[in-house]
Amino acid sequence: MIIKNQKNSTKITGNEGAIICDLLNPQHVKNEIRYSLAYVTLQHEKSTLPHIMKTSEVYYILEGNGILHINDESDNVKVGDTIFVSSNSKQYIENVGSGDLKFLCIVDPAWKKDNETIL
């Protein structure tokens, strides 16, 4: 059994204002999983940088309101929404709520720097 708590997880602060907590990835559970799971906090009025992932991605909104941009589409996202993003899609999310936007992000296969292109 592996239990990870976001408070004790490795945190990465992105230039765009996102705080990314690495919860699970294949390094934690060798030969058991192929995806990565992150808990992301995006500060008020911030957005992630437009990027393309070679892998698919799933967002699950935990708190706040945002606008998710995928290729030429944009839509409002809110608590309880689950969004699938196909591989090789241009994407970014912006926080349009009054507080932090918090969400889980699953990348399959697991996130690797080489699989992401910042635009």
What confidence tens digit (pLDDT) does each residue in 59-95 have? 999 999 999 999 999 999 999 999 999 999 999 999 9
- DSSP letters for 68-94: EEETTEEEEEETT-EEEE-TT-EEEEE
| Interatomic CA distance for residues 76 and 86, integer angstroms | 18
Q: pTM for the complete prediction? A: 0.91
Using a pLDDT cut of 90, give the percent of the chain over it: 68
Residues 6+ apart with CB under 8 A from 31: none
Domains of the chain: 9-110 (2.60.120.10)
CA distances from 9 to 35, 44, 51, 89, 107 (A): 17, 22, 24, 28, 17
Per-residue pLDDT at 2: 79
Per-residue pLDDT at 40: 96
Per-residue pLDDT at 12: 84
- The answer to whether residue 15 scores a pLDDT higher than 70 is no
